[in-house]
Structure 1
Amino acid sequence: MLTIQRKHLILSRLATQGQIVARELAEELGTSEDTIRRDLRELAQQGKLQRVHGGALPASAATGDLRVREQVSSQEKQALGRCGAQLIKPGQVVMVDGGTTAIQLARHLPADLRATVITHSPHVAVELAAHPHVDIIVLGGRLFRHSMVNVGASVIEAASRYRADLFFLGVTGVHPEAGLSTGDAEEADVKRALHARAAETIVLSSSEKLLSASAFVIAPMNALSLLVVPDDTPAKTIKALRAGGATVQKASA
């Protein structure tokens, strides 16, 4: 089989089966594991899959910058934001990550909500400014333009001064085995720090993130208190996520 044919087969299998085991595929095709690993390495360099020990998982499609991600699954993100807003109770201290779904969360908060929101996202802070009874605390640091969030040691140190009831964590990958992941190491450090300061962590995940993985792990699936997914998420996907340890709730459209 030609290299291009093997790579096409690998991507097709990832789309239908959700993972590739290098040893098994090598045996099936009658080629060496090294050949399959080379194919996986080259496809990973092209951003078409995420390599893991022994094989590969689908790469997350949610890796573009904020302006690109605003165009992806916009209706899903509105429904997720609305659902997330309903989970916040008056008087709570809430940490909100950056990202397009977090912006939708801020937009859907009740106008009369009284709460404290801690965020490292300037975009989220601006959206929250329309809510007169929400106290806004912005964690400052170096602006990571790709995601429009503040990152670095100063954000992590500042986060250590707070304890939150909820943390709405933004991710690019949600996978039952690979866990919760994102595409930047420094962002992952901040997300882990915020997760550690909250009693409960919630992920609002649009469909392109489900059953995919990115390079930098934030936490395992069972570290979540709740995973909220789109209303039309297939039953088999929800079953797989629950098998990974997640409590899953659908967001009504």
Structure 2
Amino acid sequence: MLTAERRQFILEILRRDKKVLSSELSAVLKVSEDTIRRDLRELAESGLLQRVHGGALMAAPVTASYTERQMQAPQEKEAIARAAAQLIRPGQVAILDGGTTTLQVARQLPLDLAATIVTNSPPIAIALAEHPYIEVMMLGGQLYKKALVNIGAATIEALGMIRADLCLLGVCSLHPEIGISVQNLDEAYIKRAMIARSAEVVGLATAAKLDTAATYVVGSIQALTYLVTAPTVTTAQSIAYQNLGVTLIRHDR
């Protein structure tokens, strides 16, 4: 089998099983584990998978610009946002993480809702600026232009002064074994701080982000109280997360 054929086979197995093990691939393909590790390394460098100890997982979706991400799965994100917005109760303090799905949550909040929203996202703060009863607390810091969120020590310090009832977390990658992960280290620190300062945590994830992994781990699946996702998620995927104690909420179509 040619190298290109072998690597295509690896990707097909990965798409089917959501993970591959170097030892199993070595036995099936009748090549050394060194050869398999080299294949996985090359595929990872091309952004086609995420290497982990002993094998590989599906890679996180390629991070596009904020504007481009707003055009990805807009109906799915809007429906997820409708379900998530219902979790914010009157009088609560809720942290809204940055992201295009959490921006949709801000737009879905009822006009009669009186609550406090804490966010590091300028677009979310702007979206809520004219809401009649929501108090907006904007977290400062350095603007990470690709994601349009504030990051850094100042952001983390401000979060340290807050005790929130709820955190709605934008998810880059979610995997039962790896947990919550992202592609930017500073964002990982911010998300960790948001989780630590919240009584309950809601993960918002489109179907494409489930069972994938990125470079920087935010925390385990058990950090989530709820996972709001798509109805297209399979029963097998649902069970894997529910068995870890997460309450799954599928949005309506």
User: Could you say what secondary structure the match of 1:143 adopts?
Assistant: strand
- What residue number does 1:183 align with? 183
- What residue number does 2:41 align with? 41
Equivalent pair of 1:139/1:150 in contact (CA under 8 Å): yes
More displaced, 230-239 or 69-78? 230-239
Equivalent pair of 1:62/1:69 in contact (CA under 8 Å): no
Amino acid at match of 1:210: L
The alpha carbon displacement at 1:24 in A equals 1.1
The CA distance in 2 between the partners of 1:244 and 1:165, in whole Å, is 22
What is the TM-score normalised by the length of structure 1? 0.97
The CA distance in 1 between the partners of 2:31 and 2:40, in whole Å, is 14
The CA distance in 2 between the partners of 1:104 and 1:56, in whole Å, is 32
User: Could you say what secondary structure the match of 1:181 adopts?
Assistant: strand
More displaced, 90-99 or 167-176? 167-176
- What residue number does 2:139 align with? 139
The CA distance in 1 between the partners of 2:62 and 2:231, in whole Å, is 19
Equivalent pair of 1:62/1:172 in contact (CA under 8 Å): no
User: Could you say what secondary structure the match of 2:213 adopts?
Assistant: coil
Q: Label 1:69 to 1:53 Cα distance change in 2 as closer, same or farther (>3 A).
A: same
The alpha carbon displacement at 1:62 in A equals 5.3
- What residue number does 2:216 align with? 216
The CA distance in 2 between the partners of 1:48 and 1:128, in whole Å, is 37
Deviations 1:111-151 (A, max 9, x none): 11100000000011111113121110111111101111000
The CA distance in 2 between the partners of 1:106 and 1:43, in whole Å, is 38
User: Could you say what secondary structure the match of 1:77 adopts?
Assistant: helix
- What residue number does 1:116 align with? 116
Equivalent pair of 2:195/2:223 in contact (CA under 8 Å): no
User: Could you say what secondary structure the match of 1:180 adopts?
Assistant: strand
Equivalent pair of 1:44/1:51 in contact (CA under 8 Å): yes
Amino acid at match of 1:14: L
The CA distance in 1 between the partners of 2:92 and 2:99, in whole Å, is 21
Please list, as runs of the form range in 1=range in 2, the aligned pairs for 1:1-253 lying within 5 A after superposition: 1-61=1-61, 63-253=63-253
The CA distance in 2 between the partners of 1:205 and 1:120, in whole Å, is 19
Equivalent pair of 2:168/2:202 in contact (CA under 8 Å): yes
More displaced, 239-248 or 80-89? 239-248
The CA distance in 2 between the partners of 1:228 and 1:95, in whole Å, is 16
Structure 2 gap ranges (5+): none
How many positions carry a matched residue from both structures? 253
Q: Percent identity?
A: 45
The CA distance in 1 between the partners of 2:113 and 2:145, in whole Å, is 30
Structure 1 gap ranges (5+): none
